[in-house]
Structure 1
Amino acid sequence: MESRYTPAEIEEKWQKVWSETNLDQTPEQSDKPKFYALSMFPYPSGNLHMGHVRVYTIVDVIARLKRMQGYRVLNPMGWDAFGLPAENAAIERNVAPANWTYQNIDQMRDQLKQLGISFDWSKELATCSPDYYRWTQWIFLEFFKAGLAYQKEATVNWDPIDQTVLANEQVDADGRSWRSGAKVERKLLRQWFLKITDYAEQLLVDLDKLKGWPDRVKLMQANWIGKSTGAQVTFTTEAGDEIVVFTTRPDTLWGASFMVLSPEHPLVEKLTTSEQSAAIQQYQEAAAAKSDLDRTAEGQEKTGVWTGSYAINPVNNQKIPIWIADYVLMDYGTGAIMAVPAHDQRDFEFAKKFNLPIHVVVQPADQTLDSSTMTEAYPGEGVMVNSGELNGVPAGKGKGQSVEKAIAFLEAHQKGKGTSNYRLRDWLISRQRYWGAPIPIIHCPNCGAVPVPDADLPVKLPEDVEFSGKGGSPLTQIESWLNVPCPSCGTPAKRETDTMDTFIDSSWYFLRYPDANNDQAVFDKAITNDWMPVDQYVGGIEHAILHLLYSRFFTKVLRDRGLLNFDEPFERLLTQGMVQGRTYKNPTTGKYVIPADIKDPTNPVDPITGEKLEIVFEKMSKSKHNGVAPGDVVNKYGADTARMFILFKAPPEKDLEWEDADVEGQYRFLNRVWRLVADSKLNQKPAKDLSKAEKDLRRSIHTAIKEITEDLQGEYQFNTAVSELMKLSNALSDCAQKDSPVYAEGIDALLRLLAPFAPHMAEELWRSIGHSDSIHTQSFPIVDPGALVADEKTIVIQILGKTRGTIEAATAIADDKAALEQFARDSEIAKRYIDGKEIKKVIVVPGKLVNFVVA
């Protein structure tokens, strides 16, 4: 065996062997319990970053551990390959999106293999492959058949120069198009939606089932769903049109003095009088030029225009004016609110600005509110006044309080009903872009929206496409693709030219992996139901809301379509922290300095200004000059060192600060392990009567097994598990009896414990000590509880609190207070210091020390 550790050689060697022997392939049939380990699949940008290394290493340790613990393991990999960056590349580089994407996939696959991740590459999928998006389209049609996919008018970001719809990420902070620089407008277009609101209550309630999820992620999802309880109330205009509002405080209806509609509300045009028409149109145009964020931002001055029309307050029949204002959004609630300025600050500010009535309907206990002298709204508790049947009722949401009684009043008089509302909106999935899964609908002038027959799937993206970045989706320009006969009646019709949001692709990919090569069905129900749900999912906190929410939604819909037999897709979720690099920042200019330009990294100064620089750890990026390429680390130290560092530096859920010195430390540790095994001549004979030193070593071995197993079974504390590996290595290094069978047991345990963390080194050393089978097919060490029990314990002897020496006591004596005191009295150390002296007091701590207080 080589005495020198050469990671480049052994890693390439074993990666080739593992690939040739299909070591990491998923067992198709087995009586072993299953374990589905899954990392969030990446966008194929072409280059791995340290965040990738962290998440895939974490999952790989878990997968390798579970295989060694007797599970059949599924650990797949794929590519979230549709999306805007590929289309941008097509425009900027004059290259087809598919070519650019698949080239990046090839590059990243090679990088991942260099890390030794035990992915089953036979399960690999790419969402841009027709073999995959055929089934994405099929699932869309399942939603369509269930009435969960529909079209409606929706407000979108519109670039008036390029004449195209923009995603939110294509609009900069100033509200301008990322490409043309034009001020983005808000425009109504017919768009496709998925009816996720039908599942809002299930998605909220079932959060309680997710015992293995971080509490903060569940809270983020609950807040996004945003359930609120109250009442739906119907106002009627003077012309007889109904305006429905939702309010959490129906008890304040008697204080409603005006209504506010969104500028986009469909009734605005009908309600606008000729005198107000010009002002309304001008206001609508101004509102369309603002983002939703701008319209609803705190502290914004309230603006609005009266339509010229009135509504009738349903509880007191008073006539109240109807206004439009941009702080009311059409896609939140019903696009209409009742305004109660005495008890809502936003309404109060609006009423004050436009001199609208303010009616007090809740009086606090400690003061008397007068609308003419109020300087702000009063949203607190009190008693109802000026509220008809509610007068004198305590204001609040409890039993017998005003909200409950108001709902009862509305329902009794058929003016409204108690209901719940959700912040969650239906999911807009239309994208006016090329590089996405085409929506499989054909629009017929006779039949309307007709689904593409299953036999005609996939609706493939045409390949001969020109990209200019202008004029919307290029699919609208390809007549041969666009014009088709209606599947129902044969009339000339047109394909849907919108493609699907890429979140669609990632909402079901985990269901395809177990049966990734099925060309007859989306998946075999028996196979996917056998492997699902995912036992451990690992990915970034940035996906805590939308991706996870949409995945849960898809799972529930496909369950209801008879394809799945479970409610939730992911049993346990780990959201790993970011990898941060050291930056050198000028505190005055805010600019980052290139590390190579700094002469003294311990006392860094700006080479241009001479100012002292701040050392800050921030997310790695080129602009901050703090990026570390995984390939550079692997080439210098090896994949096993990169893995060990990324696991040891911080707990997985915490941010990790990259320091080269710490990488060096892990490299030195692996070198020590290498030398430890390389220099060993192991005695494989069975151990018989053990010396004290051998018993102590065996206790160290099984303590390591116990601690590492617990670290990996609970909250995945990889950093402390690596620390235990170091302790065991040190114990073996310190052992004087290298020919002892216990020492051989220790080397065996060390390598098997190390295998999930540093798989290449563990494999090489395992084979070097005489084994023919892969270490990754061995069982993970199991603790021997008997080895943890010491025959003897070391007891400290103190005189007047000062340590005078130690003695060895049998465990039975050491743990018995009276026996230990007598044993200590009889020891040579005690006799030496207390002979002839009066013992005033003896302090005994069983198993640890005896302190003699003498005169």
Structure 2
Amino acid sequence: MFPYPSGRLHMGHVRVYTLSDTLARYYRMRGYQVIHCIGWDAFGLPAENAAFERSEEPDQWTKKNIAYMKQQIKQLGCSFDWKRAAVNWDPVDQTVLADEQINEAGRSWRSGAIVEKKYLKQCFVFNETNNTYKKYYSTKTPYKSPSSTLVLPLPPTGFELVCTQVLARHGCRALEGRKYDKLTMALWTQAKEEQALTEYGQQFGEDLQYFISINDKLGRGQLSGLGKIEHQNLGRRLTERILPLFMNGLLTNSSTRIRIVNSGKPRTKESSDAFVQGLPIAIKRLIDYEPANPTLLSFYDDIKYQTYFKQDKQLKNKLRSIQVQPYSRKMARNVLERLFKESFIDKLANGSYLIIDNESGKSIKNEIDAVRMLHGLYLIGPNLREEGVEYLLEKYFNLNESAWFAYLQDAKEYYEKGPGLSDRTIIHEMAQILLDDFFLHSEQCSQINSTHILRARFTHAEAIIPFAALLKIPILSDKSTPINETYTYENNGWRGELVSPMTANIQWEIYRNHNNGTTHYFSNQQILIRMLFNEYPVPFKYECQPYNMINHLFYKIDELKRCYRISLHDSLDTLDKDDWQTLINIQRMWMGECNGVNILFKLSIPTSEYDFIETFTIKPDALLNITHLYIQSTHKLARPDLIEETETGAKRLRIDAIHPLTERELPIFINDDADFGPKIRANMTMLNVQIGTPISNKFDESFANKHNISTFINSSSHWYRMDLETLLAELRSRELGGYRTSGKLNDWCISRQRYWGTPIPIIHCNHCGAVPVPMSELPVQLPSIKNIKSSSKTGISPLTNAHDWIKIQCPKCGNLNAKRETDTMDTFVDSSWYFLRYLDNENTTKPFEPDIANKLMPVDLYIGGLEHALTHLFVARFIQHFMHSKGLCTSIEPFKRFIPIGMVQGKTYKTSSGQYVSKDNIMTIDKNTVIHSLTKEPLQIDWEKMSKSKYNGIDPEEIINQYGVDFTRILMLTFVHPRSLRNFNLEDGIADGLQNWFKILINLYVELIESRTKSNIKSSMTNKEFKQIEIDLREQRLNTIYTVAFYIDSFFSVASAVIELQKLTRYLRKVPINIKQQSNEYIRCLCDLLVMIGPVIPFLSSELWTILQQQIKSNVDDYDLSKSLFEQNYPKLPDDYPGKINALYDSTIFASMPISRSLLSSLSTSDVLQYLNENDHQSQMKMFIANNGLKLDRLRKLGDYCATLIYERDPNVTIIEQPEPINDKKKSKTLKKKNVS
């Protein structure tokens, strides 16, 4: 991704470009032809505003910044192909990755201003999405009830409340099981014993012990003070809200009753008792305690469910794949780095510890498990607020980390108890039973003689979750394949704000029409239901149609029963790719399911805003049966001067729509009661229009009959002899829709009312309409305009002031009064295809030559931050698919692999009010305490994205001037994976460690000079010993080549590769001096070391290479010492060097053996099993599998490096003992087992 020319590089730039340069150099030396291009995020509002603030012209300001930043990039030693970089403002060469966006609050994300909706003639690319992205919910917290009784909207006229049903969870309480605290404390104790705690880690131990003491003082699993208050207040607020029902029973001394039901377990009985305590004394006498129905309220414990879940292999695999994804490891490491030293975290991540709770069977096997346990404590903490526990554990998670592990917890609930099971398991059936019970009681209490005005059920979250999911999740079809569906908040309708383990209560209010005579039992047509989640009104899932648009939160019971008898909808297939999974999930959420088509209707009389109106329908087969259209009252066409009232009282437009095929004139009515489908986004105008088909829709039939709409259909027309696909093809040929699309997709507005952007190459002529600018006049150059800043304030494009530029002759008819388009393009239009232009940047007749694109596309590697890449990758894929559809590219996807670079974070200091404090105003008291030097207020220390406003930014030039370019590069590439957040701090000693390694590296080559200049070196080493050392050197060298290439090719983990090179450096340091003087193998090691480390630290490596050139007079195998370092070939493994086959369980390799690399590609699962079983460790391997209760899951291959059998825990096998892992000939890390009783 390319930099925005702000004037200076920041550390995030350094991280991205040093990584891309390292990989570019690496692959060049491996023999690949590498295109490593660079450009500038030059156009757009940020550059325009920055120039205005400095009273400069945007082009001059941008060019000046580019010149300076180009010098900075070159200073970093980045080997970009500058010949392909943009050299002028030609739109084909601009690559801009920023754009104005609107946030969830309807504000501009740049200015914060509320966005106004205006209807203007704009340029669009159809069927794209807007640039919004819902963030994951930051955390789960206990139920936050309303502070007082809410005043809710009144029901429709004639309806009165007769009953309320409540399903409430058992309430906030102390931690019940011991798995979270015991396992976390055991891990902390292990770190303490190894002296691997940070200062923050020491404090964490104290906080944890305090938390456990408060929890145990309250009592394991006991209802906390907050939980009691929660249920008492719920009873109080319910009483206030439905007091007339209670008072009627008390005053008339009737049989009016309140039913209280709990699951029969002590926890829920405590909750129901607390609820009753919140009721007034007079009302308590109305209570009946109804016997519990375990099937309804405790079905999570049902043996049928437990048996099924343990056998559901696919389910567990899907959940596991979510939990162990790379981003989880990154987030886990971020948390643990605050508590433990790096070496301890590495061992934990590598599976060197196994900490088991024998009581629950839960364990910590890696860094993800560790943080999941800590996060479990983090969630319980607020429950104990009334017991004096402050949020001690909150300070160990930042917002992103807390959000991610809340997401993992929701995913676990989703697959174990929620819609992830769907109708594959017993859970769906039992949730349906509870739903049926709600329906039954709703009908019973709506009877005139019903005496029950409140029914409150108390149960566990495990019962509420699937029920809530069934109520809220979208259901679209009769088929269900949820196991192919990867959990995300947005993708499934399973969302933390509505459905989560912390869901406190669900209420149904039942309303009866009291104006409907005196029948003994009211029909379902006279029963309305309103649902409340946590006491706030919410809609049922969007397939359910509300009573009307005014009373849109009230639903007829028959409509709800119809809606909830449909099976769960088909899920979208997901691609199991480590690089792309997160991005794929987000894009699938943006796009939605393409389950309908768009249809365009021309207007009989075009208006100033519209030539046609568009609708989206999931029933395209009704195309020929359309007799009229509906628009909502919010539609732009629903304006007074266009509306007339018919004799029957309907509101109709004075203009008609033209049927796109039959050309029949269709009347357009304003009616908010029609079925407009789900309200996905308010700005989607095509969802404000709906077709009327009386032949297949009862509402449409009734409406047509009432308002005298002709329902005659000429079924003898030739259109009726065509199938649906032919009709849709005809629509497409007429450019009137017919494309399969989603209700979520919107048109892409590319017009921008700003100066600093690519001019839209269109000329407007009064005679010819919109005419393209001739090819010979492209690209259109921006004119120079004075006082651009003042003209931008009007909301009209500043280019409207360039009168001489605007006026132009029409290239089609010669009209001298034609005008240029004055809007400029969205910068994503430029950046969406730059990779294609860079392949052929000197082509003056075409954007690119298809033959060149077909040869070189797709791009092998895309590097950039995830947040910035989300929208750019979306539009880039959109354009690439378009190019493919036009036959310009054989490649469908533009990019093969993706590295989402983690942000660089700096240390921040904040006051209790959240104000940031600069380092100049802090005072360190001791290891754990930092205060404000002026106010003496204690300060909070955290890691956050670098920013001037947070006083944690670091200028890369300062680092370069102090430590040098190579040191700066390796500082940004080591210690963490590229995907991980990088906490940048030179105060923790990492600089000293790297500097020491630099000294060792340099000394290797200085010692080579000394050894070669000394002639009196004596040694008692025998020839046999000499040869053995050379054999060991060769083995060490080849192993390093293998491992470095493995880490880079497979995971792009330069940090891991550098660790291996540091090992080789230290190994060579210990070699005897006569080996250094005489051994060719040692010289080969020195050559290989420089070539492998050269892409990371090119300057120092090149300097050290000159020492080899001066000292080594004879040839070295595979190297030409007369050439420079970067003209050398990367070291290769000999053909007979083996790969590996492994058996892996939870990041622990418990069996491994070498195998010919030529065989790896052809190995099957059974082949690998056979090889390992025939190995010397067959018995140990079988014992490890048996003792850990494992079963084979799948085979995973990584190039010609290794093939690995992945094992997982078999839930049907009881674990007896955890043995030590099996070591191969090389020394491996020992698996430490720690049982927690």
TM-score bin (small chain): 0.5 to 0.7
Tell me how far apart the structure 2 counterparts of residues 110 and 325 of structure 1 sit (CA, whole Å). 53
Provide the residue aligned with 1:186 in structure 2.
Answer: 117
Matches within 5 A, 1:412-491: 421-467=742-788, 468=790, 469-471=792-794, 472-491=796-815
Distance 1:691 1:582, change over 3 A: same
TM-score w.r.t. length of structure 1: 0.63
2:1008 equivalent in structure 1: 680
Match of 1:266 in 2: 637
Q: Any conservation in 2 of the 1:708–1:721 contact (CA below 8 Å)?
A: yes
Matches within 5 A, 1:113-132: 113-125=74-86, 129-130=88-89, 132=90
Q: Does 1:331 align with 2:684?
A: yes
Q: 1:554 maps to which residue?
A: 879
- 1:769 match: 1108
Q: Is residue 66 of structure 2 the alignment partner of residue 105 of structure 1?
A: yes
Does residue 1:226 correspond to 2:587, yes or no?
no
Pick from 579, 582, 588 the counterpart of residue 216 of structure 1: 582
Question: Per the alignment, do residues 466 and 567 of structure 1 end up closer, same or farther by CA in structure 2, a change over 3 Å counting?
Answer: same
Matches for 1:839-854 after TM superposition, within 5 Å: none
Task: Give the 3 Å change call, closer, same or farther, for CA 219–497 of structure 1 in structure 2.
Answer: same
Q: Which residue of 1 aligns with 2:1042?
A: 706
User: Do the aligned partners of 1:328 and 1:335 also contact (CA within 8 Å) in 2?
Assistant: no
Structure 2 matches for 1:85-484, cutoff 5 A? Answer: 85-125=46-86, 129-130=88-89, 132-133=90-91, 168-169=100-101, 175=107, 185-196=116-127, 213-229=579-595, 246=616, 261=632, 263-267=634-638, 269=640, 329-331=682-684, 333-336=686-689, 421-467=742-788, 468=790, 469-471=792-794, 472-484=796-808
> What secondary structure is seen at the aligned counterpart in 1 of 2:800?
helix
CA distance in 1 between partners of 2:689 and 2:962 (Å): 63
Q: CA deviation at 1:515?
A: 2.4
- Structure 1 CA distance, aligned partners of 2:683 and 2:1027? 81
Structure 1 residues 95 and 215: alpha-carbon distance in aligned structure 2, compared to 1, 3 A threshold: same
Structure 1 168/116 Cα, relative in aligned 2: closer, same or farther at 3 Å?
A: closer
Q: Which residue of 2 aligns with 1:732?
A: 1068
C-alpha distance in 1 between matches for 2:1086 and 2:946: 38
Show the 5 A alignment for 1:408-807. 421-467=742-788, 468=790, 469-471=792-794, 472-491=796-815, 492-586=817-911, 588-600=912-924, 602=927, 603-660=929-986, 661-681=989-1009, 690-736=1026-1072, 737-739=1075-1077, 740-770=1079-1109, 771-784=1121-1134
CA contact (8 A) 1:443 1:496 kept: yes
Kindly provide the amino acid, as one letter, of the partner of residue 720 in structure 1.
S
- The two structures have a TM-score, normalised by structure 2, of 0.44
Q: Structure 1 residue 459: deviation in Å?
A: 1.5
Contact 2:43-2:94 within 8 A present in 1 as well? no
Q: Which amino acid aligns with 1:614?
A: Q
Kept in 2: contact 1:134–1:459 (CA 8 A): no
SS in 1 for 2:12: helix
Aligned equivalents of 1:846, 1:464: Cα separation in 2: 73
Question: Matches of 2:741 and 2:853 in 1, distance apart?
Answer: 35
Q: Does the 8 Å CA contact 1:76/1:120 hold for their aligned counterparts?
A: yes
The Cα of 1:272 is off from its aligned counterpart by: 5.2
Deviates more, 1:324-333 or 1:652-661: 324-333
Deviation at 1:678, TM superposition (A): 1.5
Q: Is the 8 A contact 2:124 2:750 kept in 1?
A: yes
Distance in 2 between the 1:769 and 1:63 partners? 24
Q: Tell me how far apart the structure 2 counterparts of residues 535 and 187 of structure 1 sit (CA, whole Å).
A: 42
Which residue identity lines up with residue 329 of structure 1 in the other structure?
A: A
Contact 1:669 1:726 in 2 (8 A): yes
Cα distance, 1:706–1:443 mapped onto 2, change above 3 Å: same
Partner Cα distance (2:61, 2:807) in 1: 28
Once the two structures are TM-superposed, the CA of residue 96 in structure 1 deviates from its matched residue by 1.0
For residues 464 and 75 of structure 1, what CA distance do their matches in structure 2 show? 36
| Bigger mean CA deviation after superposition, 549-558 or 447-456 | 549-558
Classify 1:55/1:268 alpha carbon distance in 2 versus 1 (closer, same or farther; 3 Å): same
Aligned to 1:43: 4
Distance 1:260 1:519 in 2: 48
Deviations 1:703-743 (A, max 9, x none): 11111011111111111111101100110111123223332
Could you tell me whether the CA contact under 8 Å between 2:86 and 2:94 is conserved in 1? no
Specify whether residues 529 and 418 from structure 1 end up closer, same or farther in structure 2 by C-alpha distance, changes over 3 A only: closer
Closer, same or farther: CA 209–766 of 1 in aligned 2, 3 Å: same
Shift, 1:613, TM fit:
1.8
Matching residue of 2:21: 60
Alignment CA distance shift 1:433-1:50 (3 Å): same
Aligned amino acid, residue 39 of structure 2: G
Matches within 5 A, 1:70-85: 70-85=31-46
Once the two structures are superposed, residues 370-402 of structure 1 have per-residue CA deviations (whole angstroms, 9 ceiling, x without a partner) of xxxxxxxxxxxxxxxxxxxxxxxxxxxxxxxxx
Q: What is the identity percentage for the equivalent residue pairs of Structure 1 and Structure 2?
A: 38
Within 1, Cα distance between the matches of 2:966 and 2:905? 20
Partners of 2:86 and 2:1223 in 1: how far apart? Answer: 62
Deviation at residue 186 of structure 1 after TM alignment: 2.0
- Using a 3 Å threshold, how does the CA distance of structure 1 residues 76 and 185 change in structure 2: closer, same or farther? closer
Q: Is the 8 A contact 2:92 2:837 kept in 1?
A: no
RMSD (Å), alpha carbons: 4.8
Give the CA deviation at 1:697: 2.7
What residue ranges of structure 1 are gaps of 5+ in the alignment? 1-39, 138-165, 199-204, 236-241, 252-257, 281-307, 312-318, 340-355, 360-406, 412-416, 790-814, 819-843, 850-855
Deviates more, 1:673-682 or 1:43-52: 673-682
Cα distance, 1:513 vs structure 2: 1.5
Deviations 1:288-342 (A, max 9, x none): xxxxxxxxxxxxxxxxxxxx9776xxxxxxx957999999724254224799xxx
**Shift, 1:470, TM fit:** 2.1
In the alignment, the residues of structure 1 paired with residue 7 and residue 575 of structure 2 have an alpha-carbon distance, to the nearest angstrom, of 38
Q: Is the 8 A contact 1:123 1:516 kept in 2?
A: yes
Q: Deviations over 1:556-606 (max 9, x none)?
A: 3333444333222111111111111111122x1101211232232732112
Rounded Cα–Cα distance in structure 2 between residues aligned with 1:704 and 1:324: 60
Cα offset for 1:178?
7.6
How many Å separate the matches in 1 of 2:1047 and 2:675? 63
User: Partners in 1 of 2:109 and 2:590 — Cα distance?
Assistant: 27
**1:75 and 1:207, CA in 2 relative to 1: closer, same or farther beyond 3 A?**
farther
Secondary structure of the 1:599 match is strand
Counterpart Cα distance in 2 of 1:68 and 1:167: 37
Counterparts of 2:757 and 2:950, CA distance in 1: 32
Q: Note if contact 2:862-2:899 (Cα within 8 Å) is conserved in structure 1.
A: yes
Structure 1 residues 125 and 663, CA gap change in structure 2 (3 angstroms): farther
Output the amino acid matched with 1:710. F
